[in-house]
């Protein structure tokens, strides 16, 4: 499978389908497999590019401090390595949502629209407990169990306890065997220290903002929707932070409508 080296860090990605690019940026503590239902649905009309962020999945795990902008450069490097230099739609969840919004704001010539799931455009100072826990649980040899608990925080307990939820979350834990807590800490710092608010008033690309009904980032999503001029905010019932893996049919149908209304496919 392809790996982009453009920004000095190995970024693993999977390229599926044909058509204009649809860039998929996952949430922590997941990896690119979290978009399995969107790749299946949209690869008939787009070339889907689902990547692992630095620090996660099969991508490189640098320990030095880095910025959200550098993580954005990783995404653009994948886009260029896949053979595209314009016309992309970028879709992200949580940290992926923040990166997607940053890219759409700063590079409208590359990213013509954005779908933001469970995101927050402002400063985020609530990660200290996660940073301490990842370090402590790794040192104690309990990182897989902690990783599973963090994954469950991204969905509803009702879904996590279904056979499908247990199977999929178990796969993320197995693929997370090589996670490095210090690299994860650098990702948390990059996300928490970034404030996109000053950029939003001049941002004019079509944007769909989606939250699950039980998403702990719902307030942040509503705030972002109020700051982005060309945005629409949708709440999916009976779903959590990663609503697109819990309610794929409803999520995909709403995204397809957004694509149609904005002539994106």
Domain boundaries, the chain: 3-261
Q: How far is it, in rounded angstroms, from Cα 246 to Cα 234?
A: 15
Q: For the domain made up of 3-261, give the CATH fold.
A: Rossmann fold (3.40.50)
Please write the tens of the pLDDT for every residue from 124-182: 767 899 999 999 999 999 999 999 999 999 999 999 999 999 999 999 999 999 999 99
* pTM (2 d.p.): 0.96
> How much is the pLDDT for 1?
67
Helix (H) / strand (E) containing 16: strand 11-17
**pLDDT confidence bin for 230, thresholds 50/70/90:** confident
Tokens of 236: 């999916």
Please write the tens of the pLDDT for every residue from 17-34: 999 999 999 999 999 999
Q: What is the 3-state secondary structure (H, E, C) of 24-78?
A: EECCCCCCHHHHHHHHHHHCCCCEEEEECCCCCCCCCCCCCCCCHHHHHHHHHHH
CB 96 within 8 A of CB 53: yes
The residues, any chain, with a CB within 8 Å of residue 252's CB and separated by 6 or more, are: 37, 38, 41, 42, 244
């Amino acid at each position: 499978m392809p790996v982009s080296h453009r920004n000095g860090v190995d970024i693993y990605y999977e390229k599926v389908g044909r058509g204009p690019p649809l860039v998929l940026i996952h949430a922590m503590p997941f990896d690119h497999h979290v978009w399995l239902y969107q790749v299946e649905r949209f690869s008939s009309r787009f070339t889907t590019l689902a990547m692992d962020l630095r620090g996660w999945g099969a991508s490189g795990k640098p320990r030095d401090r880095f910025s959200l902008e550098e993580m954005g450069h990783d995404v653009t490097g994948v886009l260029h390595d896949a053979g595209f230099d314009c016309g992309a739609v970028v879709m992200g969840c949580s940290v992926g949502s923040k990166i997607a919004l940053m890219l759409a704001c700063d590079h409208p010539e590359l990213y013509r629209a954005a779908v933001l799931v469970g995101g927050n455009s402002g400063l985020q100072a609530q990660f200290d407990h996660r940073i301490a826990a990842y370090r402590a649980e790794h040192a104690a040899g309990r990182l897989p169990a902690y990783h599973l608990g963090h994954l469950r925080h991204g969905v509803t307990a009702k879904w996590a306890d279904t056979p499908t939820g247990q199977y999929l979350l178990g796969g993320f834990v197995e693929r997370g065997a090589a996670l490095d807590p210090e690299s994860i800490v650098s990702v948390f710092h990059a996300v928490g220290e970034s404030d996109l608010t000053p950029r939003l008033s001049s941002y004019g690309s079509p944007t769909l903002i989606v939250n699950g009904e039980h998403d702990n980032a719902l307030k942040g999503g509503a705030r972002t929707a109020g700051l982005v001029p060309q945005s629409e905010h949708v709440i999916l019932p009976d779903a959590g932070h990663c609503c697109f893996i819990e309610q794929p049919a409803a999520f995909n149908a709403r995204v397809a409508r957004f694509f149609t209304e904005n002539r994106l496919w």
